[in-house]
Amino acid sequence: MLIGYVSDENYLALAGVSVEFARDGDIVAQAASTASGAIVADLQPGEYRLTLAMPGFGAKHLTATLPAEQPLQLRLLSDTLTGFMWPKWVRSGEAAELRVHSVAPYRAELFRYGQRKEPVELLGWFDEHGPRAMAQILPDEDFSQTGVQFNTVGFTSPGHVRRLAGPQRSGLYYMHVHNERGEFFSFPWVVAPAAPREPIAVLAATNNWNAYNRFGGRSNYINEAGLPPTPTVNARQDLARYRIGNSATQTADNDVYPPLSFERPEPDCFVDRDVEVTDPMTGRLASSLAPGLWRLLAWLEREGFEYDLYSDAQVRNGELDLDAYRVLLTEMHPEYWYAEEYDAVRDWVERRGGRLMYLGGNGADCQVEHVDASRGRYLTRQPDRDRPEEAHLESRFHRTHEPQARLLGVAFTHAGEGTAAPYRVLDADHWAFAGTGLRNGDLFGTHSMHERVPGGASGHETDKRTPNTPPGFVVLAQGTNPDNGGAEVVYRNLPGSGGEVYSVGSMTYIASLLVDEGVSALTRNVLNDFAGRAPRAAD
């Protein structure tokens, strides 16, 4: 009888897991999982207590009626240190819970990440009397949809669970955790102000962080339509992304995609203990997730700009009062927006004079549907060019919404993808270049901390004007990427409302802010003007 399959937190098949079957208090059978993670045993129908164990993973018990209608999906959590704050975003004074998985006693300390890593609060050491008492237990089945549910099994004593209030100062906070085994892990926490305090708001792309989070075996890029019946043995052979191509897997109707839970650790937002803000941005994803946001915030503080930080969810639910701010800044890769979020920002700019600085690339490209406080559905079906109602769409941000170029002036295209290069000045007489010393034809953005796609401030994924770009956008500079794939830096003033938009269209732009004077000077000029800190120079 096929009982089911056993896999780890990333839905990788586990071979050699010992499985014990008990009934009425007696052990009636034993088995070991096969190379595919399959568990096979000769059992009579009925209810059994299963015990699973494997070195390097947490053992667990569960009860199941066998045979089940479908093979069981059994999940074991590796002994690797991990964790997150829940909720992952709060306002100052609101409480969040520390959720950590550690097989050894651990120490937790809160830091604020700005121009420096500033220690905020030592939470102390965490342990209990039992062995491995701080280890968590994974739910079985597809918890990428439901969340990992840390702190829900056996954690009933207040001493087990630590809740803390969001600090008074808004910003990006990181929890540092290390344990007696010598492991270290860190994870972000977005703290918005209880009420607006500064003239500048910064938007943390928390929807994007979740879209790329594969903890549980699913993200918006692998197994996006749900976990397959059997766990992964070899990604290149088993995952549809590699067998038939990613674009082929994202063509079903959006409604078939299950939600992705925010209530999961985010390993790719990790920042090592000794990393400083001006160090190279290592790894594949860190540069476009929370560690990338850190570089923007550090630059703002270095230049003397005070700001309030918010998550995507806090725009959607109205906690970010846009009318209380002069300027809204995005980070490196704000790809996934709620419909309500997009509408709010567009209306603020076009009707009420808001000033938007889009400092990333491939932004507002896909829509997220709010499911509940811990889940979102990612609507990433490609538009069908043969359908008249979709033929005008230059991106995947569609269904009920307009092409993002109507707000941002630019939209992602594949030209130049995976390359990086400096920008070339095209309109040095524009007020944005005043005092920079840059002239038409000059290059800037030659220095970058981006290691995944090194080469310059225009890169990785780049945006350009499209047929949907409204009149009034002027091009200040363009990346020198091959195949005419350079990002376009554009500016627009909306005479009716007084709103303004500055877009750079590049995922590597922020990686140059701290190390390239041309990028820094241009951005400083625009932000000084938008924030009302300096009079505008004449064109």
Q: What local confidence, expressed as pLDDT, does residue 380 receive?
A: 74
Q: What local confidence, expressed as pLDDT, does residue 498 receive?
A: 94
Strands 308-311 and 200-204: parallel
| H helices present in 306-382, as ranges | 312-316, 339-352
Q: What local confidence, expressed as pLDDT, does residue 381 receive?
A: 63
Interacting residues of 38 by C-beta distance below 8 A, sequence separation 6+: 2, 4, 5, 230
Cis ω on the peptide bond leading into residue 87 (within 30° of 0)? yes
Q: What local confidence, expressed as pLDDT, does residue 399 receive?
A: 44
Q: What local confidence, expressed as pLDDT, does residue 96 receive?
A: 98
Question: Is residue 36 a contact partner of residue 256, using CB atoms and an 8 Å limit?
Answer: no
Q: Got the DSSP string for 272-291?
A: -TT--TTS-B-SSSGGGSHH
Largest CA distance in the chain: 87
Report which DSSP code applies to 381.
Answer: P
Q: Report the distance separating Cα 468 and Cα 257, nearest Å.
A: 28
Secondary-structure class of domain 2-74 per CATH: mainly beta
Q: What local confidence, expressed as pLDDT, does residue 161 receive?
A: 85
Q: Where are the domains of the chain?
A: 2-74, 326-530
Q: Report the distance separating Cα 447 and Cα 241, nearest Å.
A: 34
Q: Report the distance separating Cα 306 and Cα 130, nearest Å.
A: 47
Phi/psi of residue 125, each to 5°? -100, 145
Q: Report the distance separating Cα 161 and Cα 215, nearest Å.
A: 22
Q: What local confidence, expressed as pLDDT, does residue 385 receive?
A: 47
Interacting residues of 279 by C-beta distance below 8 A, sequence separation 6+: 449
Distances (CA, A) of 128 to 118, 176, 258, 450: 29, 20, 37, 42
CA end-to-end span of the chain, whole Å?
Answer: 78
**Tokens 């597809």 label which residue?**
142
Cis ω on the peptide bond leading into residue 67 (within 30° of 0)? yes
Q: What local confidence, expressed as pLDDT, does residue 402 receive?
A: 82
| H helices present in 175-275, as ranges | 206-211, 235-238, 240-243, 246-249
- Specify whether the backbone of 409 is left (phi greater than 0), alpha (psi in -120 to 50) or beta: left
Q: What local confidence, expressed as pLDDT, does residue 382 receive?
A: 57
Q: What local confidence, expressed as pLDDT, does residue 9 receive?
A: 98
Question: Is residue 161 a contact partner of residue 98, using CB atoms and an 8 Å limit?
Answer: yes
Low-confidence ranges of the chain (pLDDT < 70): 155-159, 245-255, 381-401, 535, 537-539
Q: Report the distance separating Cα 205 and Cα 420, nearest Å.
A: 22
Q: What local confidence, expressed as pLDDT, does residue 330 receive?
A: 98
List the Cα angle 383/389/392 in 5-degree steps: 65
Q: What local confidence, expressed as pLDDT, does residue 254 receive?
A: 63
Tell me the β-bridge partners of 106.
126, 179
- Specify whether the backbone of 284 is left (phi greater than 0), alpha (psi in -120 to 50) or beta: alpha
Strands 488-493 and 500-503: antiparallel
Distances (CA, A) of 356 to 203, 274, 367, 527: 11, 34, 19, 10
Q: What local confidence, expressed as pLDDT, does residue 390 receive?
A: 47
Output the pTM of the full model.
0.95
Q: What local confidence, expressed as pLDDT, does residue 251 receive?
A: 52
Question: Is residue 299 a contact partner of residue 357, using CB atoms and an 8 Å limit?
Answer: no
